[in-house]
Amino acid sequence: MNYLAHLHLGGPAPQQLLGSLYGDFVKGSLEGRFPPALEAAIRLHRHIDSYTDQHPLVLAALARFPRERRRFAGIVLDVFFDHCLARHWRDYAEQPLEQFTGDFYRVLLAEPELPGRLARIAPFATLEQVFNGIARRLSRPEGMVGVMGELERLYEPLLADFRAFYPQLQAFAAAGRLSDS
């Protein structure tokens, strides 16, 4: 999952929102580095990633990509699933997407010290812009060439994969939030 899904799954409290995002930017042991609620949200982010990476529906979705794309398919699928969530937001959330993202940005702007690279990026953009940015950071950027064409061809089956998987991920994340309370 990418930024939007993590923010949606991590919980609505400011520390939960920040921790949901920090999970991609904070590495190593957490013990005592952050307030307990923020650490719990970072741990949940890591559990969501682990659950997602091993889930049979996600593995099946990854197998839809051509063999030469498999090295980057996980990145592509994370971004695409966020696209699916944004596009079909009303199916998974009661709060309108614009209000949700506005609330999140207010929390983000109020945080004086963001970790590392997070302080310099904006988490929401269009798919093609996201993939171009990813390609610039890869040691082999040619691995992203043609990804938009593949996504166009795979759009419907990958959307079906997302729709089957995301409710299960929502239940997993909700259980994780309850166990940390």
pLDDT score for 71: 82
Name the pTM for this structure.
0.77
pLDDT score for 50: 94
| Each residue's pLDDT tens digit, 86-141 | 999 999 999 999 899 888 888 887 877 777 666 555 445 455 565 666 656 655 65
Domain boundaries, the chain: 3-179
Average pLDDT over residues 136-150: 64
Distances, alpha carbon 8 to alpha carbons 21, 33, 63, 89, 94, in Å: 10, 24, 26, 10, 11
pLDDT score for 106: 84
Residue of 35, 45, 43 lying closest to 15 (CA atoms): 35
